């Protein structure tokens, strides 16, 4: 069976996803799927190739791998697309371009897998309901904790009631705080995070706590079945954390962590002082974690929360789970 996809964005995450498709070709063959990327849409390129874009070449350059098109909406409406893979960087002001692209896809009967936080942090319920109405898949593991399955965990925990969520949901700020404990200044730690490719395009999104808040909204909506938006989160970032405060914490056998927490109608992102007996105490560097308080006790999941390959794996695992779901394979 042939499945045709349209990729939005082809930066580090999009290219990592392409490399995962190449590397895991056999896994797709095993479930009888030929997965063709027929369209790649970026700021610079609008590329369509009905036979499938050659991904091994695309990773290096998109030049001459297809025809140029004018309107992505046209492509989605007319070219038999099965999956929209959204790797766009969308704005936290209005959720664009992801918000409109996801809606257009679902309205055209196209399944959506997104790693873009803003559309879901601003319009969660609308998009979920639209997917339900159109009987299409909308998956978004890559939006929270990248490849560590904080979102998809819900599927293997049927009828679980989550009362409270607490997490370290941003890799960059956790990395910066860890580096500051090691003696780096805030600026040097941020520079290091950028160099290693962990920081978002605009690092203030990380540092001011907006990225954590967006992820918290997505988790809270997923596990509480609510319709929170970014504006419902009280947010403080780590921008005013000084070297002196970090040293003071270390002296008291404590650590400052940017903690995101959600209980019914109470969503907060703020730096918190954690004692050394806190289970989050040893979550360091780019690692993220999330803790769910449930009727059967407290469950913790931790793993890498940043990195292009990890985020791409989030989308890849969503793709495989979608295919299994649709075709019962």
H/E run at residue 158? none
Q: Which of 210, 274, 273, 256 is nearest to 237 (CA)?
A: 210
251 lies in the binding site for a second copy (CB under 8 A): no
Q: Cβ of residue 179: shortest distance to a second copy, in angstroms?
A: 16
Output the furthest CA–CA distance in the chain (Å, rounded): 63
Burial class (CB in 10 A: 0-12, 13-18, 19+), 68: exposed
97 lies in the binding site for a second copy (CB under 8 A): no
Residue 99: count other Cβ atoms within 10 Å of its Cβ.
22
Q: Which is nearer to a second copy, 128 or 320 (CB)?
A: 320
The pair of three-digit structure tokens given for residue 273, joined into one six-digit string:
């002082």
Q: Which is nearer to a second copy, 71 or 276 (CB)?
A: 276
Q: Mask of contacts with a second copy, 271-310, x by CB under 8 A?
A: -----xxxx-xxx-----x------xxxxxxxxx--x-xx
108 lies in the binding site for a second copy (CB under 8 A): no
159 lies in the binding site for a second copy (CB under 8 A): yes
User: Residue 209 — left, alpha, or beta (φ > 0 → left; ψ -120 to 50 → alpha)?
Assistant: left
254 lies in the binding site for a second copy (CB under 8 A): no
Residue 83: count other Cβ atoms within 10 Å of its Cβ.
25
Catalytic residue among 36, 179, 208, 215: 215
Q: Cβ of residue 108: shortest distance to a second copy, in angstroms?
A: 24
Q: Is 275 a catalytic residue?
A: no
Strand locations in the chain, DSSP E? Answer: 2-8, 34-41, 46-48, 67-68, 83-86, 111-114, 138-139, 162-168, 233-235, 254-263, 266-275, 287-294, 297-304
Angle at CA 91, nearest 5°, toward 306 and 163? 60
Exactly one of 22, 27, 242, 248 binds a second copy (CB under 8 A); that residue is: 27
Q: Cβ of residue 89: shortest distance to a second copy, in angstroms?
A: 21
Q: Cβ of residue 219: shortest distance to a second copy, in angstroms?
A: 15
**How many residues touch a second copy (CB under 8 A)?**
38
The pair of three-digit structure tokens given for residue 326, joined into one six-digit string:
């649709």
313 lies in the binding site for a second copy (CB under 8 A): yes
Q: Which is nearer to a second copy, 104 or 196 (CB)?
A: 196
Q: Which is nearer to a second copy, 126 or 291 (CB)?
A: 291
Residue 189, SS3? Answer: helix
H/E run at residue 230? none
Q: Cβ of residue 266: shortest distance to a second copy, in angstroms?
A: 23
Q: Which is nearer to a second copy, 155 or 188 (CB)?
A: 155
Q: Which of 10, 134, 145 is nearest to 66 (CA)?
A: 10
Quote the CA–CA distance of 271 and 252 in Å, as a whole number.
16
Exactly one of 11, 12, 19, 24 binds a second copy (CB under 8 A); that residue is: 24
Q: Which is nearer to a second copy, 221 or 287 (CB)?
A: 287
Quote the CA–CA distance of 284 and 262 in Å, as a whole number.
21
Q: Cβ of residue 29: shortest distance to a second copy, in angstroms?
A: 12
328 lies in the binding site for a second copy (CB under 8 A): yes
Interacting residues with a second copy (CB under 8 A)? 24, 27, 147-149, 152-153, 155-159, 276-279, 281-283, 289, 296-304, 307, 309-310, 313, 316-317, 320-321, 328
């Amino acid at each position: 069976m042939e499945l045709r996809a349209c990729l939005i964005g082809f930066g580090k995450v999009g290219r990592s996803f392409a490399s995962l498709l190449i590397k895991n070709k056999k896994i797709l063959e095993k479930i009888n799927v030929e997965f063709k990327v027929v369209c790649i849409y970026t700021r610079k390129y609008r590329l369509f190739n009905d036979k499938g874009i050659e991904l091994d070449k695309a990773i290096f350059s998109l030049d001459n791998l297809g025809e140029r098109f004018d309107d992505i909406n046209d492509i989605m409406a007319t070219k038999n697309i099965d999956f929209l893979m959204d790797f766009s960087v969308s704005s936290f002001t209005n959720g664009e371009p992801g918000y409109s692209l996801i809606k257009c896809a679902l309205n055209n009967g196209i399944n959506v897998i997104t790693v873009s936080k803003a559309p879901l942090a601003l319009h969660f319920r609308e998009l979920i309901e639209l997917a339900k109405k159109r009987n299409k898949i909308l998956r978004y593991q890559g939006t929270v904790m990248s490849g560590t399955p904080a979102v998809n965990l819900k599927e293997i925990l049927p009828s679980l009631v989550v009362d409270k969520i607490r997490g370290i949901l941003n890799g960059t700020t956790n990395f910066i705080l860890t580096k500051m404990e090691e003696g780096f200044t805030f600026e040097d730690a941020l520079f290091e995070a950028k160099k290693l490719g962990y920081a978002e395009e605009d690092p203030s999104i990380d540092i001011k706590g907006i990225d954590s808040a967006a992820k918290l909204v997505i988790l809270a909506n997923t596990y509480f079945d609510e319709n929170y938006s970014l504006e419902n989160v009280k947010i403080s970032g780590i921008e005013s954390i000084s070297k002196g405060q970090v040293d003071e914490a270390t002296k008291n056998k404590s650590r400052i962590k940017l903690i995101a927490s959600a209980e019914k109608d109470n969503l907060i992102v703020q730096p918190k002082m954690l004692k050394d007996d806190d289970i989050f105490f040893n979550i360091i560097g780019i690692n993220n974690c999330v803790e769910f308080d449930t009727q059967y006790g407290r469950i913790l999941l931790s793993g890498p929360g940043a990195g292009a390959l990890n985020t791409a794996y989030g989308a890849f695992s969503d793709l495989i789970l979608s295919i299994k779901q649709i075709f019962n394979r």
